[in-house]
Structures are given as C-alpha cells and as structure tokens.
Structure 1
Amino acid sequence: MTTSGAGPQTIRDIGEFGLISQVTRRLELPPAVSVGPGDDGAVFLVNGSSVTSVDMLVENVHFRRSWSSAADVGHKSVAVNVADLEAMGASPVAMVIGFGAPPDLPVSWVKEFMTGVREEADLAGVALVGGDMTGARDITVCVTVIGETGGRTPVLRSGAEPGQVVAVKGRLGWAAAGLAALGRGFRSPRAAVDSQRTPKVPYGAGKEAALAGATAMIDVSDGLLADLGHIADASEVGIALDSERFDVADPVRAVATAINKDPLGFVLTGGEDHALAATFAPDDVPDDWQVVGRVVDPDPDEGPCVLVDGRHWEGDPGWTHFSAL
C-alpha cells in the first residue's frame, strides 16, 4: 500500500495508534494471559517466582539494515532477551516491546519486523502481551521478558564451586565469524552470516540445566571468556578452560582462514551466539552439553579469573559496551 504521493506508506502516514493496530491484529495469547495489548497493562499468571530481564537493540550498534532484514531484527530482538531467562533456568511466559523509529520508516518494515518477532516468540514459547511506540532518530528496540521458575530455585552466577566442571550448549563463534564476514563485505559462509543476523538460542536448555543441578549459569552474549569471567567474579573462583575440548565449526574455521585469524579466538571471545555456559558437579552434566573446563580455587595473587590452557588469553576477552563506539 502507498500514500497518495510517491513512495511506500510510512509510520508518519498512519500514526502511532494506526501502527499499533496493525502490528497487534490477530495476536494470539496463551491461557496464562488474561489481558493483552489494548489496556494500560497486561495481566498474566506465572508458576512459581517470576524472573524478568531487559535488553535493547539499537540500529548501527546491534544491527544494520544493510545487513539484516526487518524479520532478522525481529527474531534477534526476542532471542537475545529470552536467552537471559534461559540462563536463570526459567521458562519464558510473556514479553513487552518498546519500539522507536524515525517517522519516514516504511510501515512494511515494521510489519516484517513483527513477523520475525512472532516467529521467534513461537520458537521460544513466549507471548507478546504489550509494549510502547515512539519516534526516534534510529530504530531502537527494547524488550522486557518475564519468565517463571515453576517452583525451582533460579540458577545464579554465584554458585560455582571448585571441583565442578564447566559445560556449554549451543553455538560458539558463529555470530562473531559472521560479523567479521559482513564487515568485509562478504555474505558467506551463509551459516555464519545468518547466525550473526539471527542467533540460534538453545531454547529449553536452561530449564534442562536447572533440573540437572546446574550451580551457576550465564548466556554467552559478549564472549565466552568475558561471560565466564562474570561467573568467576560472582562465585569467587577460578575457571580453567581446555582449548582441546572446543569444537570449531566449519563456517567459523572458513572465515578465520579467509582473514588469517585464529578460529579459537572467535569461539572464546565472540559474542551474540547466546549459547549457555554452566557449572555442574561432574556427574550432573546433561548428555548433550559439552564439558570444556573446570572450576578451580581462585589464584591467591590475582583472585578470580579465567585461564585457557593455564594462561591468560592475549587480547580482549569479548565485547565491551561503550568502549567500542
């Protein structure tokens, strides 16, 4: 549909409430949600304690329209947020989305974005129950997710103890390899590029880990070394990783070879895959998790830290917000 003038219909043409009406039309809600979009607040039930988390995605920081489709951004907006609930061992229930965009953004972009949101929400098992829209210079998405513990104790970052093992589930290094490829103008390997555009979160793995007895857990958003560093700090332990235990996927290795980079660097320091990393008693690790290291006593001089093959990793352990802008 177009306006009476040239060009596609924009947000300015239909206004805030017209846009809200279009993107929430025929929205399906689960039985736990008694009030969804349309009132001043949503109403829903949770089983056990509620767990909430929030993340923002800003255009040209977390995505570029020249690299990602609107649907890709919708998928990513849901995935990166639900991954935080997974890291707490919680099951997702509901989410609200704050959306800001310039007034000349085509309505078709927003509709495609919402298609991605709905598809990823279905994969994650989470319901969209409300949100807000506003004008902004750049496309900005802020998602708040709410989950439930089902009566279980949430898995924190602070429960790791010496003698336990470190295990991961999900992809590592794929999104970073994809970002490196895109940054050099490449669109392949397609699997790596697609992983940067839309993370493949191992949905359900957080609850699986919690039921198996995970003592600490985190999702890998900024890089495995950086995020395991948060567990080490919170638990006041050391973490010793064994590089021989990591599988380097073919797409990651292909990008590394093309740009003359160590593929292990993508695996250890690359963010945005949103795999899960957790600590377990050695006999409690679920079958489909990969043990990559162990929890040890903190260094008496340095305190909590993460070592690879007994040494500090040379270079940055992962993404640091603000310093990279």
Structure 2
Amino acid sequence: MTDNTEDKSEDYELPEQMQEDTEPALDFSIFEPLKEMLLNQHRPQQDINEIEEAFVFAAKLHAGQYRISEEPYIIHPVEVAKILTDLMMDKHTIIAALLHDIIEDTGTAPETIKEKFGEDVLNLVQGVTKLGKYQFKSKEERQAENFRRMFIAMANDVRVIFLKLADRLHNMRTLNYMAAAKQQKIAQETLDIFAPLANRLGIGKIKAELEDLSLRYLNPEKYFEIAQLVALKKAERDATIQVLVEKIGQMLKQHKIKAAISGRSKHYYSIYAKMKRQNIAFHELYDISAVRVIVNSINECYEVLGIIHSQFKPIPGRFKDYIAMPKSNLYRSLHTSVL
C-alpha cells in the first residue's frame, strides 16, 4: 500500500477559525498609550483606526522578535510613533513609524506596504530604511556637517528625517542595554549628527534630549555631577521662574500685549558646554533658568524687550538679535540675559 499521508497534508488547510486561533495573541496594552495620545489630540477616528491597523500588521510581523533589552520588538516602533505623535506629525508618518523596520527585519515586500497603506507610507518607510544603511565614520566637524547635508539631501521628504530622529531618540533612551564600546560610538554619532539635525529642523525638545543622553554615555561623571547640582536647587529655581513668569505677565498686561509665557531650565548638555567653553564652574553660571515670551508680531518682540530691560538690569554683551540675523535653521527671536 502507498502511504499518501504526506501528500495529503500538503493540500490540507486549517478551517478559518482554527487558523485564527493558532496566531499569537496581540498585546494591545502596548498600543494603548499611543491610542490615548491620539484621542487626547482629537485625531479623526478614521486616522486612529488606520494607525491601529498598522500596529496590528507590524505586531504580527515582529512576533517572536525581541530587542537586546528582551522586550518584544514591537515596543520600539510604538515608542517611535509616540515621539512623532507628540510632535503632532501626520497620520502617514505615524503609520510609517510603526512599519519602519518591517522591510529589513521581517522581509516584507514593499508592494505589500503599498497595497495595505498606500504609496506615501511606502515612500516614508523606504526613505528611513535607506538612511539607516549609511554609517557615520568621520570625527571631523566639517565632515560631520557634510554628512548632515547628505542626510537632508537623501531624504526627498522631510518627514523621513523626523522618522529617523525619533528612531534614534528611542534607541538612545534604551542605550544602557548596549556594550560600553557601542554606547560610546552611538552617543558620539548622535551628538555630531542627529542632535544638530534636530536643531536644524527646529525640534529643540528632541535636540536637548539627544544631547543630554549623549553626554550621559560620553562623560558620565560630568553628566551625573551636573544632574546632582541641578537637582539641589530645583525647587529654588522653579520658584524663581514662576515669579518671573507672573511678573512679566503683569507687565505685558499693563501694556495690553497678549503673550504666551513659559519658563524652563537649561538642559544638562547646554550647561556642560557653557562651563567647558567659558572654563567656569557651575556656581558661576547665571543663566541656567530662562523665560520664553511668544507674541504675535516682530514689533511686539522688540516692545517686550524694552519693557523687560526697563524692569530688569540687562547684562552687557548678552543680547542677541536672531530676528535681524536668523539662525541657519531660520530660528528667529530675541535673546537677552538680565539680573
């Protein structure tokens, strides 16, 4: 008798319900924080549904894959998507964030991405995949600048750069799981290439975090020293900022100027760079805290400057006019230091 069991098994298909039951269960708790962010931003429900569909698609493809931290791999693209959501990026960029590793890490065909999520998403995923293949090798600032220019030139869509920056930021947040030598290499690359890129795009929040995380691995002793010194006077500094915000608010109200006023402390790398550049100690810094005033016109910028200088003593040589001479990333504002 001929045994046809093997031949028959090749043609046998599980019933649909049984096929579904054999798939690993998806952990939707990973997606929930992203979904909550989208809801809080009042994103259209259709957009949220499409983003969730991308999560399900990516989670199934990354099933069984883990990061060095031993976390499920899908956590990484979700965290990248959260960073971009916080920046109010569009639906397609967030979807591309969830899918950005599937071409290289799961062998998914580009045609599949295009069919399910459209050509725009595919272009973003392919763009960030292409950028990921280029490695930073230079130690010279000039060469680093050339590398940054090449990065921007290679990305036909600026959203690709945003994707790459968000990807790098989450990788930096989890860099502690890497070997020490790898940490140093990635941190230096981040400081030389990616932090300036974030600055050029006007994403100061990401620039600051990338710089701080880089300092943590390149000079941990100085990083933790500054962190400790900053923490010691945090309550005092926060109170000072609050008083300044309220006082400036009252002054502008008297002059009938509408403004958004907020306070902040300088990030660790900024403090470190100033101490190193000016060869001074932490206690010699006088501008660790800052207040930002946003008004509706250029004329009001100069008017507010005059009001502040009339109430506080300006420090000579500390005024910078980035309205008359904008920064390379087109940043425009007035900077002053007062006592």
Structure of greater relative contact order (alpha carbons < 8 Å, 6+ residues apart): 1
Query: Which structure shows the higher strand fraction?
Result: 1
Normalising by structure 1, report the TM-score: 0.27
Give 1 or 2 for the bigger CA radius of gyration: 2
Query: Which structure shows the higher helix fraction?
Result: 2
Normalising by structure 2, report the TM-score: 0.27
